[in-house]
Amino acid sequence: MTSQGFGASIDSDARKRTLLAIGSFLLPLLVWCLVSYVPFIWHPKIEVTVPGGVDYFQVGMLVDKAQFEDEAAYTRQHNLALPAGIPANPIYLPAPHEVAQAFYTGFTQAPVQKDAPWLHESLWHSIQIIFWGFAISSIIGVPLGILAGTYAGVGRLTEPFIEFFRYLPAPAFGALAVAILGIYDGPKIAIIVIGTLFQQVLIVANTTRKLEATIIEAARTLGTRGFRLITRVVVPGILPDLYRDQRILLGWAWTYLIVAELIGTSSGITWYITQQARYQHFDTVYAAIMIIGIIGFGTDLILARLGRRLFPWDRAQDRR
C-alpha cells in the first residue's frame, strides 16, 4: 500500500519540491519585507520630515528614537515648533525595492565617482580572476589527484605534505604573493590557487580511490595496461564524480575571491563593494553582494543541468 502511495506521488513530489525550493527564497524575502515595510516592526530610527525648532535637525536626517523624543519634549517645553518624523530603519538596512533599484541602476547609470568601474566591469574582472585561479588550480590539481589516487606510491609521496599545507590559511600568503607577483592580478590569482589546489588534490585523489576495483581489474583482464588504464578506465570511470567535485571546488574558489581582491590594489567586485560602502550606498552594496550569489548559484545550476546531459549513465544525478 505504502509503496504504491510513494510511486503515485512522484509527480506531485517533484512539484512540491519545486514549490518548497521557491519558498526557501521567498521566506527570507518576506522577513526582509516585513522588517522594511511594517512601521511598528523594529524601525529603531526616526527620519526627520519637519525639523521644527530643533536647530540641528534636517529633512531626511536619521536620529535615534530616544533622541527624537528628548528633542520633541524640549521643543514642547520651550514652546518651539514641534519636529515631525516617521519611523525608519538604519541606513545599513535598505528596503527591498531600494536594493532592486540599485541593482538596476548599477548596470544602467555611471558610478558617482569619476573613473570608477561600472558594476559589470568590476564583476567581469572578478570573474576573470576566479576563472584563471580555478583553471590553474585544476590543471595541476586534477591530474595530480588522479595520479595520487591511482598509484599508492604517488599518493604517499604527495599527500602528507598537501595535508599539512592545506591547513595554512591562503590569505596568510597574501603579502608573500604581492612580493613575488606584484600588486595587480597575479597575487589575487595566486591566493585562489593556494586556497583551492590543496583541497582539490585530496578530494580528487579520494574520488579516484572510490572507483570500483573490479572495473580496473576487468579492464586489465581485457588487455589494458599502463597509462591507458588511466586514460581509458580511471578517468572516464570517475568523470561524473570528478565533475561534482569541481562544482563544489568552484564554490570554494569564490569564497577566496573577496580576500584575494583585497590584496595588493583592491579590485573587482570587492573594490566596488568597499567603495560603495564608504559612500554609504548600502543599497548598492546589497545589490553587489547578491549578484555574487546569483552568479555562483546560477553557474552551479547550469553546471548541474549540463552534468545530467554529459553523463547519461550516472545514476547518482537521477536521485537529485
Partner 1 sequence: MNPENSAEIISYLDQSETVKARFAKIRQRDVILEVRNLGKRFRSPQGEVDALRGINFNVHRREFICVIGPSGCGKSTLARILAGLDQHTSGEALLDGKPITGPGQDRGMVFQGYSLFPWLTVKKNVMFGPLMNGRGDAESDALLWLELVGLEKFADAYPHQLSGGMRQRVAIARALVNQPRILLMDEPFGALDAQTRAKMQAHLIDIWRNVDVTVLFITHDLDEAIYLADRILVLKAHPGEVQEIIEVPVPRPRSPGQFNSPEFRATKTRLAELIHPEPEPMPEDEQAVKPHLIRFTDVTDNVE
243, 310 contact by CB (below 8 A): yes
Q: Which of 17, 156, 232, 278 binds partner 1 (CB under 8 A)?
A: 232
Toward partner 1, which CB reaches closer, 242 or 273? Answer: 242
What strands lie across the sheet with 62-64, from one edge to the other?
62-64, 45-50, 84-88
Provide, rounded to whole angstroms, the least separation between the CB of residue 205 and partner 1: 20
Residue among 78, 114, 309, 315 that touches partner 1 (CB under 8 A): 315
Interface residue with partner 1 among 35, 154, 239, 303 (CB under 8 A) is: 239
Other Cβ atoms less than 10 A from the Cβ of 268: the count is 25
CA distances for 240 relative to 84, 197, 300, 306, 317, angstroms: 64, 19, 15, 11, 9
Q: Which of 218, 248, 301, 306 binds partner 1 (CB under 8 A)?
A: 218
By CB under 8 A, name the one of 75, 105, 206, 224 that touches partner 1: 224
- Which residue from 223, 226, 309, 319 is in contact with partner 1, where contact means CB under 8 A? 223
Q: b/e string for 93-113 if b means 16 or more Cβ within 10 A?
A: bbbeebbeebbeebeeeebee
Helix (H, G, I), strand (E, B) or coil at 188: helix
CA 205, 210, 211, 213 torsion-angle sign: positive
Contact 272, 130 (CB under 8 A): no
Among 167, 221, 227, 309, binds partner 1 (CB under 8 A): 221
Three cell numbers written together for 234: 580511471
Question: Given the complex with partner 1, which of 235 and 277 has the nearer CB atom?
Answer: 235
Q: Which stretch binds partner 1 (CB under 8 A): 1-9, 25-33, 152-160, 230-238?
A: 230-238
Based on the shown chain and the rule CB under 8 A, indicate whether residue 220 belongs to the binding site for partner 1. yes
Quick one: 7 or 226, whose CB is closer to partner 1?
226
Binding region for partner 1 (CB under 8 A): 212, 214-215, 217-224, 228, 232-233, 236-237, 239, 311-315
